[in-house]
Amino acid sequence: MPDALPVTPQPGQTEGEPLFATAAAGTPKTINEDMGESVTIAPGSIELAPAERAIRLIGGELTEKSLRLHLEGLARVDAVGLEARAASLGTRSIKTTSKAWALDKIIALIDLTTLEGADTPGKVRSLVAKAITPDAGDPGTPRVAAVCVYGDMVGYAVDALGSLHGDPDAGGISVAAVATAFPSGRASLAVKLADTADAVAAGADEIDMVIDRGAYLSGRYGVVFDQIVAVKEACRRADGTYAHLKVILETGELTTYDNVRRASWLAILAGADFIKTSTGKVAPAATLPVTLLMLEVVRDWHALTGEMIGVKPAGGIRTSKDAIKYLVTVAETVGEEWLTPHLFRFGASSLLNDVLLQRQKLSTGRYSGADYVTMD
């Protein structure tokens, strides 16, 4: 691995400073000192699952120690600089013609979601009907990218979509399923893998898994890494293809920007197709600074490897105005090429209605009442 990776410096990172710091071989590493804990990992720590990306980047024998040296060597996040840039991006205004494009783009990037204990087959069918026809009064309204449901609801969603079940970049609608004991992630690995495999067998195109935040925050990076690798393999279909894997970090529980950056890199190294902010069940959920930070990670990964990783902010994005801020942040950070369903999504339940009302306002010149859209 080179001494310095060819990536854009982060706020507070000097030009030419390695993104990953190096450490002497065989030196014990003490971690999490900033969290009031100390966990020392001795040389010769346990071998990890052979994830292709991590082996390619880290090289040699992939162990808990080598993974830790890389993650703990990441440049620290300049929180002041990050929040200032997010605030600046959030003040950008767009013209009316651009707003019409932005509203349609937001709809096309939504994972329309229902994740409640009271979900029923009928509710899922209603969700799918709205995904297919968001605005019955305007047949030109784009369809959403996907519907996101619990694993036991996947079959109902697939059946309701019928011939429209497919790739959103080709005009279809995908089915995403949350898995791995969502939202807490508190279950054995065997349960998590069965949860994932069942959803894929039922027809899920995408799996939204949650990481074990307890393991991560206690410094057991190898446990989190190995679980992501195993879940990725559980996404494998009988024909050898894979359901896309979105890895939910639950950033509201990671407490620091440094933890978010490390967890983002860990998830990508383990095989994530997307990194996702939140379950929507923990406050704070998605925020603009955290999403900006995750976009910077995928930007740097792309600069390093040429591989494009998706980002999904989820939870708390309820208005068109807020969603447009995210579109601007994506375009300014990784480029407009990321504004496709395969690289960026909004995880949302109430956002769609606000976008539809704003879209009607642009068309008619007046605001419609909430009863002009279906209530979820």
pLDDT at res. 196? 98
The DSSP symbol for 247 reads E
Q: Does residue 192 carry a catalytic annotation?
A: no
- Does residue 67 fall inside a structural domain? no
Q: Is 165 helix (H, G, I), strand (E, B) or coil?
A: strand
Give one DSSP letter per residue of 44-57, joined into a string: SPPBPP--HHHHHH
The DSSP symbol for 219 reads T
- Does residue 170 fall inside a structural domain? yes
Predicted structure pTM score: 0.86
Q: Which residues of 283-302 are buried (b: 16+ CB within 10 A; e: fewer)?
A: eebbbbbbbbbbbbbbbbbb
pLDDT at res. 14? 39
Which listed residue (312, 322, 325, 354) is catalytic?
Answer: 312
pLDDT tens-place string over residues 138-176: 999 999 999 999 999 999 999 999 999 999 999 999 999
Count CB neighbours of 202 within 10 A.
17
- Does residue 289 fall inside a structural domain? yes
CATH assignment at residue 181: 3.20.20.70
And the tokens for 222? 């190898």
CA distance 53 to 23: 21
CA distance 346 to 216: 25
And the tokens for 123? 């509710």
Q: Is 203 helix (H, G, I), strand (E, B) or coil?
A: coil
Q: Give the strand pairing for 29-31 and 39-41.
A: antiparallel
Q: Does residue 312 carry a catalytic annotation?
A: yes
- Does residue 224 fall inside a structural domain? yes
pLDDT tens-place string over residues 321-356: 999 999 999 999 999 999 999 999 999 889 999 999
pLDDT tens-place string over residues 169-213: 999 999 999 999 999 999 999 999 999 999 999 999 999 999 999
- Does residue 29 fall inside a structural domain? no
Which listed residue (208, 212, 300, 322) is catalytic?
Answer: 208
| Segments forming the whole domain that contains residue 203 | 80-372
Nearest to 274 by CA among 316, 237, 313: 313
Instruction: Read off the amino acid at residue 178.
Output: V
Cis peptide preceding 2, ω within 30 of 0 = no
Count CB neighbours of 43 within 10 A.
11
Nearest to 7 by CA among 75, 62, 83, 80: 75
- Does residue 318 fall inside a structural domain? yes
- Does residue 154 fall inside a structural domain? yes
Report residue 288's pLDDT band, with 50, 70 and 90 as the boundaries: very high
Which listed residue (276, 300, 322, 325) is catalytic?
Answer: 276
pLDDT tens-place string over residues 299-321: 999 999 999 999 999 999 999 99
Across the chain, mean pLDDT equals 88
Q: Which residues pair with 245 in a beta bridge?
A: 207
Contact 244, 277 (CB under 8 A): no
CA distance 319 to 86: 17
> What contacts 170, CB < 8 A, 6 or more positions away?
none
pLDDT tens-place string over residues 10-61: 444 433 333 333 333 344 444 343 434 444 444 445 788 888 999 999 877 8
Q: Does residue 138 carry a catalytic annotation?
A: no
- Does residue 104 fall inside a structural domain? yes
The number of distinct structural domains making up the chain is 1
